[in-house]
Amino acid sequence: MTTAKRLETIEDVLTANGVSRRTFLKFCISTASFMALAPSMSTVIAKELLKARRPSVIYLSFQECTGCLESLTRSYTPSVENMIFNMVSLDYDDTLMAAAGKQSEEALDTVIKENYGHYMMVVDGAVPLGNGGVYNTQGGKSAVQILTDSAKGAAAIVCVGTCSSFGGIPLAHPNPTGAVPVSDIITDKPIINVSGCPPIPAVITSTLVHYVTLGVPALDAHHRPLAFFGNTIHDRCYRRPFFDEGKFAKTFDDEGARNGWCLYELGCKGPTTYNACATTKWNEGTSFPIESGHPCLGCSEPNFWDRNGSFYAPLAAGLISSVAPIGEAAGAGAAAGVGTAALSRLRNRAKVRQRATEKQTSKEE
């Protein structure tokens, strides 16, 4: 946490911490495999990491629940995922750091000054803009102020979690604080979104490793690393065969649910959700929500809280709150039909009458 006397390269730190070369190599191999990189890249990562200067990292927390940081720090394979803390110099994190109050504010200023243009920013949480940003302040400064000030000298920004990536729950309707994602405020820096509520720990660390060694990874339209957000949950779901066979759980306690059939009808958002849950899984690789019998909520997608009507409404369902206007339209249609028919009859009768008078006049002539 202190900025003084920092070990310069990652190799220095690893040696000082007694991390063996094999442990390190294994970490690189796992990361390369996890990110679906060619196996030869593990050697490149190893080489780059060893000689890389440990990037200074500033971890900023705004409108968030600390679930993302919990996910990152409480992962069950501490030696692998926490190795990231050997590889970066976490110079500011108001949740983890010992310093508080004025000291911590000074620490932030120092880190920014000393590493201007080179440090990496990790942002956790959405940023409220409502009423001049008063809904989230730290040390008398608003979140938006801290973010813009800190971002000026950042080399890149990694948004950890759906809140900083897309606004998440703070942005959900009715969004009383005027919350926005980081990308709405900072537009002139490379932004990598690692979304999820929370994101998978290994996805966070692998993204950081990729950034340190090989730069910004390939990103999707939402600025998420393609290696983890390239496929939908549905595509990689072990229950997919049941979807294809048309076998669905209809309630949470029917035969289908007990047999582990597809949860599409129970509102699973797997088909429109891009994340690595189905392959990487959670809690020591034990399972992921669908494996525990609950449909995917789509937590790694923008607007996930509001966009699908309900977590339990199937994706194919129409998003129509009330069918009343449709009934009214039907009624109006019927009325219009009566009107048209009446008009036609009137016209018809007029025509008949006209023809009759014509006949009359011709007879009279």
> Judging by DSSP bridges, how do beta strands 119-124 and 141-142 pair with one another?
unpaired
Q: Can you give the three-state secondary structure of the chain, one letter per residue?
A: CCCCCCCCEHHHHHHHCCCCHHHHHHHHHHHHHHCCCCCHHHHHHHHHHHHCECCEEEEEECECCCHHHHHHHCCCCHHHHCCHHHHCEEEEECCCCCCCHHHHHHHHHHHHHHCCCCEEEEEECEEECHHHHCCCEECCEEHHHHHHHHHCCEEEEEEECHHHHHCHHHHCCCCCCCEECHHHHCCCCCEEEECCCCCCHHHHHHHHHHHHHHCCCCECCCCCEHHHHCCEHHHHCCCHHHHHHCCECCCCCCHHHHCCCECHHHCCCHHHCECCHHHHCECCCCECHHHHCCCCCCCCCCCCCCCCCCCCCCCCCCCCCCCHHHHHHHHHHHHHHHHHHHHHHHHHHHHHHHHHHHHHHHHHC
Binder to other proteins among 14, 32, 49, 144 (CB under 8 A)?
32
- Is residue 59 close enough to count as binding other proteins by CB under 8 A? no
CB of 359 to other proteins, least distance (A): 17
Cβ closer to other proteins: 139 or 337? Answer: 337
Binder to other proteins among 7, 9, 12, 26 (CB under 8 A)?
26
CB of 99 to other proteins, least distance (A): 31
Cβ closer to other proteins: 34 or 119? Answer: 34
Find the length of the chain. Answer: 365
Residue whose structure tokens are 């009768």? 349
Residues 237-266 binding other proteins (CB under 8 A) are 238, 241-246, 248, 259-260, 264-265
Instruction: Count the site residues for other proteins by CB under 8 A.
Output: 76
Side-chain half-sphere CA neighbours of 341 within 13 A: 6
Cβ closer to other proteins: 5 or 22? Answer: 22
- Is residue 18 close enough to count as binding other proteins by CB under 8 A? no
Binder to other proteins among 1, 2, 17, 36 (CB under 8 A)?
36
CB of 306 to other proteins, least distance (A): 9
- Is residue 217 close enough to count as binding other proteins by CB under 8 A? no
Binder to other proteins among 23, 73, 137, 138 (CB under 8 A)?
23
Residues 126-165 binding other proteins (CB under 8 A) are none
Cβ closer to other proteins: 144 or 202? Answer: 202
Cβ closer to other proteins: 155 or 311? Answer: 311
Residues 6+ apart with CB under 8 A from 105: 139
Cβ closer to other proteins: 42 or 104? Answer: 42
Binding region for other proteins (CB under 8 A) out of 71-79, 168-176, 185-193, 209-217: 71-79
**For the window 313-352, what string marks contact with other proteins as x by the rule CB under 8 A?**
xxxxxxxx--x-xxx-xxxxxx-xxx-xxx-xx--x----
- Is residue 234 close enough to count as binding other proteins by CB under 8 A? yes
Cβ closer to other proteins: 113 or 250? Answer: 250
CB of 40 to other proteins, least distance (A): 7
Residues 273-292 binding other proteins (CB under 8 A) are 284-287, 291-292
- Is residue 215 close enough to count as binding other proteins by CB under 8 A? no
- Is residue 77 close enough to count as binding other proteins by CB under 8 A? yes
Cβ closer to other proteins: 96 or 323? Answer: 323
- CB of 265 within 8 A of CB of 313? no
